[in-house]
């Protein structure tokens, strides 16, 4: 079970492993916490007030198509509104994920865990990877749910109609770790592609200090890479799924400007930190299911 903040996050962060395991016959469940109502629209001709007003609906359709590209994957919504960025009016909206009662949010996820009975949970680190409030809340909600799903004293009102406590065995955080970083940057430079970590030419000292402080927070929050899962065979599906997120991922952005073979060359794995394991493991791992009993 992967737990993500917005539609498109599932494909960017875990599209490879979701596709790999789904096609191997494993049950894969994707949980999306918010509708992504306050995202940008990167296609100029689609960037209209009308489309912003129905962006959650548009992104839900994009997500449906993306998951179909990845494989036979089940999906659930956690049911919150996009929180926007820190300090924005959307961040203070009582319907937003950021403003949600954390115990109640964890309870919603516990219900899904008890219903689907996953062995493995995957989300983000405590900084949400890059500091977005919905990513932070997805991470903390997943940790809390991991701790409580197997406890019969937690959310006892759920334990009816055959639903029982269920304890997942492993909890992972996603890691952004380009193994061949220089080759990756060289490829993008050759294609004239700028990335979100490329400083603007007119950057002020104040802006540079802010960017560097933010990058440090990202680095400090990121755990060690304990697990690298080979997703080489999934890149065609992953890139096809990314292209379905039309409003969010520009066709000339760095995700989509590299071919499957180029991605296989510079980053053939999706990487994770094993944060909790209730089974014995040997690090480093090459499989999210390493150490798990076949009958679990």
Kindly report the average pLDDT of the chain as a whole number.
93
User: What residues contact 96, with CB distance under 8 A and at least 6 apart?
Assistant: 34, 80, 81, 82, 83, 84, 90, 133
Q: Which of 203-240 are b and which e, b meaning 16 or more Cβ less than 10 Å from the residue's Cβ? A: eeeeeeeeeeeeeeebeebbeebbbbbebeebbebbbb
Residue 19 belongs to some domain of the structure: yes
pLDDT at 296 over 60: no
Contact yes or no for 32/10 (Cβ under 8 A): yes
Domain that holds residue 161: 2-277
Minimum mean pLDDT range among 12-16, 236-240, 292-296:
292-296
> What is the rounded CA–CA span in Å between residue 105 and residue 145?
9
Least confident of 103-107, 191-195, 247-251: 191-195
Q: For residue 256, is it within any domain? A: yes
% of the chain at pLDDT higher than 70 = 97
Are 163 and 63 in contact by the 8 Å Cβ rule? The answer is no
Residues 220-245: tens digit of each pLDDT = 888 899 999 999 999 999 999 999 99
What is the tens place of the pLDDT at every residue in 247-287? Answer: 999 999 889 999 999 999 989 999 999 999 999 999 999 99
Residue 293 placed within a domain: no
Residue 284 lies in a domain: no
**In the predicted model, is pLDDT for residue 180 greater than 80?**
no
Q: Which residues, in sequence order, are CB contacts of 115 under 8 Å at separation 6+?
A: 163
What's the pLDDT at 178?
66
Decide: pTM greater than 0.75.
yes
- As for how many domains the chain has, the answer is 1
Rg (CA), the chain: 19
Q: What is the CATH number of the domain that holds 270?
A: 3.40.50.10320
Q: Is residue 41 part of a domain?
A: yes
Classify residue 288: in a domain, yes or no.
no
pLDDT value of position 294: 75
**In-domain check, residue 282:** no
How far apart are the C-alpha atoms of 126 and 44, rounded to whole Å? 34
């Amino acid at each position: 079970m992967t737990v993500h903040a917005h539609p498109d996050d599932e494909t960017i962060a875990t599209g490879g492993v979701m596709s790999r395991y789904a096609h191997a016959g494993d049950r894969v469940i994707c949980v999306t916490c918010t509708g992504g109502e306050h995202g940008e629209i990167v296609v100029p001709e689609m960037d209209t007030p009308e489309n912003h007003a129905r962006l959650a609906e548009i992104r839900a359709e994009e997500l449906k198509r993306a998951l179909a590209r990845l494989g036979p994957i089940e999906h659930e919504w956690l049911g919150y509104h996009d929180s926007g960025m820190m300090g924005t009016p959307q961040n203070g909206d009582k319907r937003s994920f950021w403003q949600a009662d954390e115990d109640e949010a964890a309870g919603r996820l516990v219900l899904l865990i008890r219903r689907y009975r996953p062995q493995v949970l995957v989300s983000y680190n405590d900084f949400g990877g890059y500091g977005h409030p919905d990513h932070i809340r997805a991470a903390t909600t997943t940790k809390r749910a991991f701790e409580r799903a197997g406890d019969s004293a937690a959310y006892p009102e759920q334990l009816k109609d055959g639903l029982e406590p269920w304890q997942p065995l492993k909890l992972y955080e996603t890691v952004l770790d380009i193994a061949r970083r220089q080759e990756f940057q060289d490829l993008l430079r050759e294609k004239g592609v700028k990335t979100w970590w490329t400083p603007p030419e007119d950057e002020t000292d104040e802006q540079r200090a802010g960017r560097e402080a933010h990058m440090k927070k990202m680095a400090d929050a990121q755990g060690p890479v304990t697990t690298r899962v080979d997703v080489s065979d999934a890149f065609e599906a992953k890139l096809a799924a990314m292209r379905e997120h039309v409003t969010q991922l520009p066709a000339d952005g760095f995700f989509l400007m590299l071919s499957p073979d180029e991605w296989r060359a510079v980053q053939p794995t999706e990487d994770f930190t094993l944060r909790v394991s209730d089974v014995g493991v040997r690090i480093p791992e090459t499989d999210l299911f390493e150490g798990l009993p076949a009958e679990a």
